[in-house]
Structure 1
Amino acid sequence: MEPVTWGILGASNFAATRMGPALHAAKGSCLAALATASPEKAARFAAFAPGLKVHESYAALLDDPQIEAVYIPLPNTLHVEWGIKALEAGKHVLIEKPLAMTAAEIAPLIAARDAAGKCAAEAYMIVHHPQWQLVRRWLDEGRIGRLKHADVTFTYDNPDPANIRNRADVGGGSIPDIGVYAYSSIRFAARAEPVALHARLQRENGVDTFAQVWGEMAGPDGAFSFAALTSTRLYPRQEVTFQGEAGRITLSAPFNAGVFGEGQVSLHGFNTTETHRFPGVNQYVLQVEAFIAHIRAGTPFAWTLEEAQKGQAMIDMVRAGEI
């Protein structure tokens, strides 16, 4: 079977260091083209993808008949626009999170996917990591009894005003950047949706740099309390806890496993602890391989556009709940 040939729109640092190498390393996958007008940026990709074709415009890459799938790591405000253009050009498309600035903006992308008959998804890589699949299974099995509370912390320090994550004009802020992980990780694992949310936000130059969120979510076993802290102005920290009537589940590197620390999940019961470690797992490669299976064999993809839209609806709810 021929490998899926990928093109990337734009030469972001994240694409150069994480997703580009994953696209080239995944089984049945080949990074074949890049759209950038910068020879210096292109050289970073050519270093791990020999023979890389470089297009000077996004449109030129979409017109390339040798490219079957496109990865889009552009600024947040451009995701839907170029995702639709890629689908209309007959490409499968994997779009970096967050897909959009509001849930309503994702509807035209879903319609474009359906009209094109191609695969399209948000690059929400954590759901492909075995640690999150294990947490979901434990919760499904009732290993901690009825879920009563979930809390999340995801922080890092990025004070550079020129950084794209600190620019309001391209959809920056801690919520679009990492709130998408903090909120939808709970949605995914607990199969839950928010009922009511409140938020306290701090802003700099029009973007949120600190978001404290609390409220209630509801899953198969009923309602549970929820609390989340995200910030781009605090010392790096990642922690997730699910607390039930008969125990709790903790993740010590829930979002950047392998970078922030080794993926590790623990199940704490009365006088017992069960811990699973996941050394050497690359969740970006797993994500690409799952997307290729979706393209080639129609295997269900763990994070559909509809799931991403529900995640964005939760972000919308957070903003609407600011006090």
Structure 2
Amino acid sequence: MTESGKVRWGVLSTAKIGREKVIPAMQRGERSHVAAIASRDAATARKVADALGIGTAYGSYEELLADPEIEAIYNPLPNHLHVPWSVRALEAGKHVLCEKPVALTADEAGQLVDASKRTGKLVFEAFMVRHHPQWREAREIVRSGRIGEARAVQTVFAYYLDDPGNVRNQADIGGGGLYDIGCYAIATARFLFGAEPERVVGTIDRDPRFGTDRMTTGIAEFPGNRHLGFVCATQLVPVQRVEVLGTKGRLTVEIPFNAPNDRPTRIVVDDGRDLHGTGAEAIEFPVADQYTLQGDAISAVIQGEASLEWGIEDAVLNMRVIDAFFRSSERNGWEQP
């Protein structure tokens, strides 16, 4: 049933992140209506559609793109299919929200820039964290000077996954930690600093079985002698933490990336008077679903009722940094994005 006033979305595949995270969240939104879903198997599409309460199910991606009622496509396909199917969606007259990383290289992402200009449709990279209130507030605190001059961001993001059948462990289709989670460290540092890194250096440890980067350690140098230092890993103990260090204090985002949607989140600002947290203030945020917020924010842009914050050009910039880290590991030195 059509929901008046909402953007009608179609989902390109029955990928886990869509089924478990993004679709239910968008269904709770004020501006987003998930009207259809497609799989390469009609029975699978129908089963998932029934489970999620989606009205229309298609047995091919082509059928979904041909549906004139669908205004926008969410693309959670494996990484190597992001660009080809996003381009096809644009050419079918649909706006696109594509999972990160939007491409496998910056040059490939450039195809989306060209397709967007050619079709007049928008492409968005699904960095949902930028829509969460905790990150909005963190950026405002950095900008306000409350922690002095923010000079360093330290990010750790890791999980343990050694299943050879998982797409994240398949090098030939864009698996590996830098694509999957290192991209968040890069995107959020750019978000906080409001700038692009001038050079990067990194080392990569590759899994001998999968050929994927299972641990990447990197430094990105931003203008004004500001730095991002990060570790991302696919075979370490699960952990997430972001620390922003300033000349007069520090800020901690406690669960920065997989922020829970069933309990409050918080960031901590510490004036650094001692190492015991005497000068720490916890700022708590009400329960929020960053995927719902992302869906509604993008739907508002599509409806012409909000300005575009991060377009496809931003995604290309993030890919340039990822490219530079891969080159740095291969060449054993600093690289410019």
- TM-score band by shorter chain is over 0.9
Match of 1:44 in 2: 48
Matched, 1:27 2:30: yes
Aligned pairs, how many? Answer: 319
> Which of 292, 305, 309 matches 1:302?
309
* C-alpha contact 1:16 1:45 (8 A) present in aligned 2: no
Question: How many angstroms apart in 2 are the aligned matches of 1:270 and 1:80?
Answer: 45
Separation in 2 of the partners of 1:49 and 1:172?
A: 31
Seen in structure 2, the aligned counterparts of structure 1 residues 38 and 166 have a Cα distance that, compared at 3 Å, is farther
Shift of 1:192: 2.5
Partner Cα separation in structure 1 for residue 159 and residue 52 of structure 2: 28
Structure 2 gap ranges (5+):
274-278, 333-337
Given that 2:38 and 2:45 are in contact with CA atoms closer than 8 Å, whether structure 1 keeps it comes out as no
Q: TM-score, normalised by structure 2?
A: 0.90
Three-state SS of the structure 1 residue aligned to 2:68 is coil
Map of 1:1-323 to 2, 5 A cutoff?
Answer: 1-36=4-39, 37=41, 39-40=43-44, 42-50=46-54, 52-204=55-207, 205-218=210-223, 222-258=224-260, 262-271=264-273, 272-322=279-329, 323=332
**Alignment TM-score, normalising by the size of structure 1:** 0.94
Q: Alpha-carbon deviation of 1:261?
A: 7.8
Aligned counterparts of 1:174 and 1:261: Cα–Cα separation in 2 = 27
CA contact 2:46–2:58 (8 Å) conserved in 1: no
SS in structure 2 at match of 1:257: coil
Asked if 1 retains the 8 angstrom alpha-carbon contact of 2:18 and 2:76, the reply is: yes
**Residue deviations 1:249-283 (CA, integer Å, cap 9, x gap):** 11110000006985211111144222212242100
Counterpart Cα distance in 1 of 2:115 and 2:123: 9
Cα RMSD, aligned residues only:
1.7
User: Which amino acid in 2 is paired with 1:225?
Assistant: H
Q: Secondary structure at the match of 1:206?
A: coil
Once the two structures are TM-superposed, the CA of residue 113 in structure 1 deviates from its matched residue by 1.1
Deviates more, 1:250-259 or 1:298-307: 298-307
Comparing 23-32 with 285-294, which one deviates more in the overlay?
23-32
**In the alignment, is the contact (CA less than 8 A) between 2:156 and 2:239 conserved in 1?**
yes
* Comparing 228-237 and 35-44, the one that deviates more: 35-44
Shift of 1:172: 0.3
Q: Give the conservation status (yes or no) of the 8 Å contact 1:258–1:279.
A: no
Do 2:72 and 2:95's aligned partners in 1 also have CA atoms closer than 8 Å? Answer: yes
Deviation at 1:179, TM superposition (A): 0.7
Closer, same or farther: CA 262–41 of 1 in aligned 2, 3 Å:
farther
Q: How far does residue 215 in structure 1 lie from its aligned partner after superposition? A: 4.2
Structure that is richer in strand per residue: 1
